[in-house]
Amino acid sequence: MKLKSMLLGAIAGTVVFVSGQAMADTSGKTIALSNNYAGNSWRQAMLESWDKVASKAVEDGVVASADAFTTSENQATEQAAQIQNMILQGYDAIVLNAASPTAINGAVKEACDAGIIVVSFDGIVTEPCAWRIAVDFKQMGRDQVKYLADRYPEGGNLLEIRGLAGVFVDDEISAGIHEQVAKTNFEIVGSVHGDWAQDVAQKAVAGILPSLPEVKAIVTQGGDGYGAAQAFDAAGRPTPTIIMGNRQDELQWWKEQKTANGYETTSLSIAPGVSTLGFWVAQQILDGNEVPKDLTVPFLRVDQDTLEEILAETPAGSVANVEYSQEDAINLIKSAN
């Protein structure tokens, strides 16, 4: 009997796969979000997005339930225990933002062995049985320079604002910037650490400004563009093209400048709504679709035309966000295949 049903299942699976359309039913499936930290605006927005999209999906009968869990402390051992509890609770899929890329591998392996789909995003895990939706920080650096090269093919001087020294993300973004700059006519004439904070960036830029020649543009890492603009303003120097990082204060300043003098730039970062991408990817896997183990998070880009629209949706003190849809996930999977 068991063999027969397995065979039937296998046949059904093949049929679904051949027809290329997801037909397996996920309405009885349960998905859990395992989150390790909720103490900043990005993570809060991430949880809100999950709640919004997941509860809608439950209402529509796409999945049976999609609960979110956050550990009370940002510790790998806590999250490992949390994942083990989820195995006991019998979830079909676990979507997680990991406290450590390696320290919860044991628990993730146990979940996989119990037949649970594990999808990690943002804070990814290295355990091979899990899916990863990773952020390509290098690409984030490259994209900034690409935009500038399109606007100023003749090149010019660049000021680089980096993040927190010694952090992996800072090294990666900066490496991407330098890699791309080498292929253009730009030259990086100064580099300061802004620690992803407007006040730190402002001080750092103000400090290096007197020693700089004319600056054509500023490449940043997010959370530092507004501070840089303030420093240039205070020094009475013409404002260069500052690449923004989707923070509300940055977008607000950009809009004011746009209205006043037609200022043009671009802004890119990772949307906290990437949790919903994790949700849909997990749903797609449960649906029986072939999904490659490594996917890349798309950047949320704000440009001259979409600025007003996105700014209007971004609460003060927060960061521009977007919730992903099932189609977005399907497109992402297609492009990776």
Partner 1 sequence: MNREHLRILLPVLSLGILLAAVFYMQPRAMSYFGLNLLFNLAVPVALATIAQMMILMVNDIDLSIGSFVSFCACVTATFVQTDPVIGYGILFAAILVYAAMGAIIYARGLPAIVVTLGMSFFWSGMAVLVLPSPGGSAPDWLRALMTAKTPILPVAIIAPIVIAVVMHYFVKRSSLGVLLRGVGGNERAVARSGWSVTGLKAFAYGVAALFCVLSGMALVGLATSADANIALRYTLLSIAGVILGGGEFTGGRVSPIGAVIGALTLTLAASFLSFLHLSPDWQIGAQGAILIIVLAVRLVFTRREALV
Query: Do residues 154 and 185 make contact, with C-beta atoms less than 8 angstroms apart?
Result: yes
The two tokens of residue 316 are 């003060």
Adjacent-strand bridge partners of 30 = 65
Query: Do residues 319 and 246 make contact, with C-beta atoms less than 8 angstroms apart?
Result: yes
67 near partner 1 (CB under 8 A): yes
CB of 31 to partner 1, least distance (A): 15
CB of 101 to partner 1, least distance (A): 5
Query: Do residues 278 and 95 make contact, with C-beta atoms less than 8 angstroms apart?
Result: yes
198 near partner 1 (CB under 8 A): no
CB of 91 to partner 1, least distance (A): 11
CB of 256 to partner 1, least distance (A): 36
- Residues 76, 95, 173, 229: which binds partner 1 (CB under 8 A)? 76
Determine the Cα–Cα distance for residues 324 and 337; give it in Å rounded to an integer: 19
Give the torsion sign (CA, 218, 220, 226, 228): negative
In whole angstroms, how large is the CA radius of gyration of the chain? Answer: 22
CB-nearer residue toward partner 1: 103 or 149? 103
- Residues 16, 24, 100, 296: which binds partner 1 (CB under 8 A)? 100
Binding mask 8-47 for partner 1 (x = CB under 8 A): ------------------------------x---------
Binding mask 144-183 for partner 1 (x = CB under 8 A): ------------------------x---------------
CB-nearer residue toward partner 1: 171 or 328? 171
242 near partner 1 (CB under 8 A): no
Determine the Cα–Cα distance for residues 214 and 230; give it in Å rounded to an integer: 17
- Residues 27, 40, 102, 331: which binds partner 1 (CB under 8 A)? 102
- Residues 48, 58, 84, 208: which binds partner 1 (CB under 8 A)? 84
136 near partner 1 (CB under 8 A): no
Of 76, 57, 77, 78, give the one whose Cα is nearest residue 66.
57
CB of 138 to partner 1, least distance (A): 17
CB of 65 to partner 1, least distance (A): 11
- Residues 44, 89, 325, 335: which binds partner 1 (CB under 8 A)? 89
Cβ-count burial 258-289 (b if 16+ within 10 Å, e if not): eeeeebebbbbbbbbbbbbbbbbbbbbbbbbb
The two tokens of residue 60 are 């529509």
The two tokens of residue 94 are 């676990």
- Residues 54, 107, 158, 291: which binds partner 1 (CB under 8 A)? 107
CB of 128 to partner 1, least distance (A): 11
257 near partner 1 (CB under 8 A): no
* Cβ-proximal residues to 96 (8 Å cutoff; 6+ apart), any chain: 33, 34, 35, 36, 79, 83, 104, 108, 118, 119, 120, 121, 123, 125
Determine the Cα–Cα distance for residues 19 and 23; give it in Å rounded to an integer: 9
List residues binding partner 1 (CB under 8 A).
38, 67, 69-73, 75-78, 80-82, 84-85, 87-90, 100-107, 109-110, 126-127, 168
